[in-house]
Amino acid sequence: MNFRILKRFYTLRQNNKKMYSKNSEKLIPLTHFFSSILRFWTLIFLFIILISSWGCKSKNSNNLTIDIPKEEAVEIRIHRYEKVLMSIDANNLRNELRKYKDEYAFFLNGNLEDTLNIIKLYNYISDPTLHEIYDDLINKYPEVTNIEKDLSESFTYYKHYFPNKTIPKVYTYISYLDFNNRIIYLDTVMAIALDMYLGADYKLYSSVKIPHYISNRLDSSNIVIDCMKTIAQSNLSFNPDNKTLLDNIIYLGKILYFTDAMLPKVKDELKISYTKNQLEWCNKNEEEIWAFFIKNNLLYNVDYYKIRQFFTEAPTTKGFNNSPPRFGEWIGWQIVKAYMNENNKITLAELLEENDSQKILHLSKYKPKKQ
């Protein structure tokens, strides 16, 4: 406090003077003035305490944007099985394969001395359609440096959150347009079917009945996203039998939250395979979606044929004009985010282990945003 003011107060008190208001002849005791000054400094002190406590809470929150030291970085090198297989001498197949048996043991785990195995592999690599796919694949992916870079970053986060997990050896291969096996993950091995990421309009996707609303996501921007989602699924214990709508959407929400942690720089619409307009629709209609679930007693409904429309693949969600598909999955994502933000001591590993979807909903204090 200014010393001139204190000196003035001391003089006034010594002379037993009193201050008068302009609009009243009532005396105002000098102590009232001191009281006002005290209240002012008390408020300043409380404000500082409030800011400090907020800062501490922020440090403990589940902020997924983290800096990891360079010495902890993971480096991924991709082994391209399709290049090896399509470049070897088919007329000397057995001897050629022996050169690569150790490096590509995941694929070449059969008995190479068995003539029947050699014949099957010969017929496979002689298939004209396979050669067509391979030519298109090599044209699009002559190198995979960018994929290696993105995988390295994601697996660095994975090692941070799960230090005891093994970083897998990563391969690429041709699945022969098998959508369900576009990513294979077996703890120590991951195989990426590059033929399933040749672009939305790739000419052969329609021949295996892949609808356009699915092929829209079959491009290079989704490779690492699909890899991380596959790892998330492998870390989750979930049996879809007799599960409620809430169980299903929380399960899917966990997968997306895991993807958030592994790919914090990737846009939300890519992680959930939406367009920007579809994501905006969900944000605008979040309150209405939640009210619909509650009003129609859907959250705890176990009738799969009644609830599947809210989390399975389709062009749109049945009964909702201009809606994106799977908006139940998006709601589950918001619930899981709220749960982790409200309970900042819970780790990502603990989230994946928590199988009580009702507990997650309750502790999330989830409230849809009003638009």
Task: Give 236-244's long-range contacts (Cβ < 8 A, gap of 24+).
Answer: 236/352, 237/355, 238/355, 240/304, 242/302, 243/302, 244/299, 244/300, 244/301, 244/302, 244/307, 244/357
Q: Looking at the structure, do residues 95 and 218 belong to the same domain, yes or no?
A: yes
Specify whether 74 is located in the same domain as 136.
Answer: yes
- What average pLDDT does this structure show over 322-345? 97
pLDDT tens, position by position, 199-250: 999 999 999 999 999 999 999 999 999 999 999 999 999 998 999 999 999 9
Q: Is residue 198 part of a domain?
A: yes
What percentage of residues in the chain have a pLDDT greater than 70? 83
Write down which residue in 205, 230, 255 finishes a domain: 230
pLDDT grade, residue 54 (50/70/90)? very low
Check whether residue 31 and residue 79 sit in a common domain: no
pLDDT tens digit sequence for 263-315? 999 999 999 999 999 999 999 999 999 999 999 999 999 999 999 999 999 99
The yes-or-no verdict on residue 73 having pLDDT over 90 is yes
Question: Quick one: pLDDT band at residue 193, thresholds 50, 70, 90?
Answer: very high
Domain span at 299: 245-364
Confidence of residue 43 (pLDDT cuts 50, 70, 90): low
What is the number of structural domains in the chain? 3
Please tell me whether residues 105 and 188 are part of one structural domain: yes
Q: Does some domain include residue 370?
A: no
Judge contact between 177 and 195, C-beta under 8 A: yes
Domain boundary among 230, 255, 272: 230
Residue 194 token pair: 């590059």
Domain presence at residue 55: yes
Same domain membership, residue 352 and residue 285 = yes
CA distance 49 to 133: 64
* pLDDT over 90 (residue 42): no
Residues 232, 258: contact at Cβ < 8 Å? yes
Question: Does residue 238 sit within a domain?
Answer: no
pLDDT of residue 240: 87
pLDDT of res. 12? 40
Q: What is the pLDDT of residues 141-189, one digit of tens each?
A: 999 999 999 999 999 999 999 999 999 999 999 999 999 999 999 999 9
Residue 196 shares a structural domain with residue 80: yes
> 43 and 17 in one domain?
yes
The residue with greater pLDDT, 22 or 218, is: 218
Average pLDDT, the chain: 87
Same domain, 224 and 256: no
pLDDT greater than 70 at residue 1: no
Q: 87 and 49 in one domain?
A: no
User: Are 223 and 135 within one domain?
Assistant: yes
Instruction: Decide: residue 219, CB within 10 A, 0-12 exposed, 13-18 middle, 19+ buried.
Output: middle
pTM score: 0.82
pLDDT bracket for residue 62 (50, 70, 90): low
Per-residue H/E/C for the chain: CCHHHHHHHHHHHHCCCCEECCCCCCEECHHHHHHHHHHHHHHHHHHHHHHHHHHHHHHHCCCCCCCCCHHHCCCCCEEEHHHHHHHCCHHHHHHHHHHHCCCCCCCCCCCCCCHHHHHHHHHHHCCHHHHHHHHHHHHHCCCCHHHHHHHHHHHHHHHHHCCCCCCCEEEEECCCCCHHHCEEECCCEEEEEHHHCCCCCCCCCHHHCCCHHHHCCCCHHHHHHHHHHHHHHHCCCCCCCCCCHHHHHHHHHHHHHHHHHHCCCCCHHHHCCCCHHHHHHHHHHHHHHHHHHHHCCCCCCCCHHHHHHHCCCCCCCCCCCCCCCCHHHHHHHHHHHHHHHHCCCCCHHHHHHCCCHHHHHHHHCCCCCCC
CA atoms within 13 A on the CB side of 271: 23
pLDDT of residue 249: 98
Structure tokens at 174: 């041709």
Do 85 and 143 share a structural domain?
Answer: yes
**Domain end position, chosen among 202, 230, 258:** 230
**The pLDDT value given to residue 119:** 94
* Residue 239, domain member (yes or no): no
Whether 223 and 76 map to the same domain: the answer is yes
Mean pLDDT is lowest, of 9-13, 31-35, 136-140, for 9-13
